[in-house]
Structure 1
Amino acid sequence: MEEKVMKDCKVLALCSQKGGVGKTTSCVNLAVGLAKAGKKVLVIDNDPQGSMTASLGYHNPDELPITLATILTKIVEDELFENTLGILHHQEGIDLIPANIELSGMEVSLVNIMSRELVLKQYIERMREEYDYILIDCMPSLGMLTINALASVDAVIIPVQAAYLPVKGLEQLIRTIGKVRRQLNKQLKIGGILITMVDNRTNYARDISDLIFDTYGNQIKIFPQSIPFSVRAAEISAEGISIFEHDPKGKVAAAYWQMTQEVLLDER
């Protein structure tokens, strides 16, 4: 009988306490970048707003019949289901588990469940055999869904906008990651801070970038390539495609491709 080869899957969460920092955009473009590099990739939308689901072309996520909430409910209720359940296939070669507003009800009900922080982990462990990379796009808060993601992953990538307030919120997120590492997931590490939406024409953006390097550079990896601010990058959510499809020769595509190479380097 042929022996099944286990995939050495890397599971990453993109996590930020603040919305509007390019987290979902970064998740989509990293996923497509990894697929372009020949990897089999699953992205999981772990946000009831369904931002990533919409960004990948499903503009009415609330109309989708099967989402992450469906899967988590089946796990909680100990129901059998196929690994293929709910997976949507995107034209750029990545798979998606979508999310919609039902997930917010799931967050509330998780509070009363045994091992409530580890429900998503049960699903992730099943899916590790199927993929090279699993990326989780987290909601911009530190609630139960985000804790579930942190308990499931190998590493967290933290997108931070080159502005004062998002940088201020970094400290609390780093403390939460440390707490999850101690209590739920000893393997958890910070895969890096990604500086996003940088307008290199302003001294302010450069000063903030310098502040992040000075404050965290000695203890946490900071991706050497920041993501420049671009109107073209803001357009891609409406089109349901990545920056590689929308503006392949632009500076944002080049930055995300370099970030992808950094993530691939980490597995060697």
Structure 2
Amino acid sequence: MQIWAIANQKGGVGKTTTVVTLAGLLAEVGYKVLLIDLDPHGSLTSYFSYEPDELDHSVYDLFQTAGDVTENQVNSLLCSTNVERIQLLPASTALATLERRAVEHEGMGLQVARALRHLKDRYDYVLIDSPPVLGVLMVNALAACHHLIVPAQTEFLALKGLERMIRTISMINRARKKKLSYTIIPTFYDRRTQASVSCLRELHKLYPDELASAVIPVDTKFRNASMKGVVPSALDAGSRGVHAYARLLRSLIEQRR
């Protein structure tokens, strides 16, 4: 089971779109995929027509005790989606209260990793949608994952958020036994604008080894897929955006072999 976290310390860079599109592509070729929504805003949860404000059970339940989680507890939280091979561990808005509790309870940074031990034989891939804030939820995502995917919007203000994320990775690597590898994905690219072109050039200069060769373009099909609650490849497999993510996915799988 491969675990990928999708994170950046800036919002609006395409994290949830990245999670949903990659999951759809993985499921199409037969992989079983689990999605975990760790963002209190619950965008990934809402994508699949669950309401974060109304759920009786969610990923929040994993944090009720700072210690081992049972297999039955984890199983009770899993939700189906409209894609046969994709399941969801949904978010609730109660996640926003965890930072306050994390100060009082040690060990909360490993709850997701503990839960996933019970699922290692059930899924081929786990994709974690992380909040854009460094705290106990992002720490859980980074502690649990084998590889980190960092979407970076191709505009200069987003570069500052990316710098913070790279510093966070360095901090996490000092605490991990094994260095966390990561891939930066340029998103919202519009080759018609000088801002996008210049920003992509800067990304190549600053992060030549970590930058993905696939560039995710601005594509209204992503928005249309979100409105319909379907993975983008199910709406239009031939769209520019889906092709870009398919190229990205091929490179990610090759890297992990």
In the superposition, the TM-score normalised over structure 2's length comes to 0.93
- Please list every run of 5 or more consecutive structure 1 residues that lacks an aligned counterpart in the other structure: 1-8
Q: How does 1:39-50 map to 2 (within 5 A)?
A: 39-50=31-42
**Contact residue 15 and residue 139 of structure 1 kept, 8 A:** yes
Report the Cα offset of residue 81 of structure 1: 4.7
| One-letter amino acid matched to 2:192 | R
Q: How does 1:151-190 map to 2 (within 5 A)?
A: 151-183=143-175, 185-190=176-181
Task: Give aligned pairs, total.
Answer: 255
What is the CA–CA distance in structure 1 between the aligned matches of 2:143 and 2:242, rounded to whole Å?
Answer: 31
- Please list every run of 5 or more consecutive structure 2 residues that lacks an aligned counterpart in the other structure: none
Partner of 1:71: 62
Give the 3-state SS of the residue equivalent to 1:43 in structure 2: strand
1:98 aligned to which of 72, 90, 110: 90
- Alignment RMSD: 1.6
Deviates more, 1:88-97 or 1:45-54: 88-97
Deviates more, 1:75-84 or 1:168-177: 75-84
Paired-residue identity, %: 32
Q: Deviations over 1:226-268 (max 9, x none)?
A: 1100122122222211110122211111111111211221222
Q: How does 1:70-219 map to 2 (within 5 A)?
A: 70-73=61-64, 75-76=65-66, 80-82=70-72, 83-92=74-83, 93-183=85-175, 185-217=176-208
- Rate the CA distance shift 1:260–1:78 in 2: closer, same or farther, 3 A: closer
Say yes or no: does 1:221 pair with 2:210: yes
Partner of 2:237: 248
Q: Deviations over 1:28-53 (max 9, x none)?
A: 11111111222111010000110111
Q: Deviations over 1:72-113 (max 9, x none)?
A: 32x436564514221112122211000010111233212211
Give the 3-state SS of the residue equivalent to 1:135 in structure 2: strand
Partner of 2:228: 239
**Contact residue 40 and residue 93 of structure 2 kept, 8 A:** yes
Q: Deviations over 1:179-207 (max 9, x none)?
A: 11111x22242330000011111122111
Give the 3-state SS of the residue equivalent to 2:53 in structure 1: helix
- Rate the CA distance shift 1:250–1:80 in 2: closer, same or farther, 3 A: closer
**Contact residue 156 and residue 195 of structure 2 kept, 8 A:** no
**Contact residue 55 and residue 236 of structure 1 kept, 8 A:** no
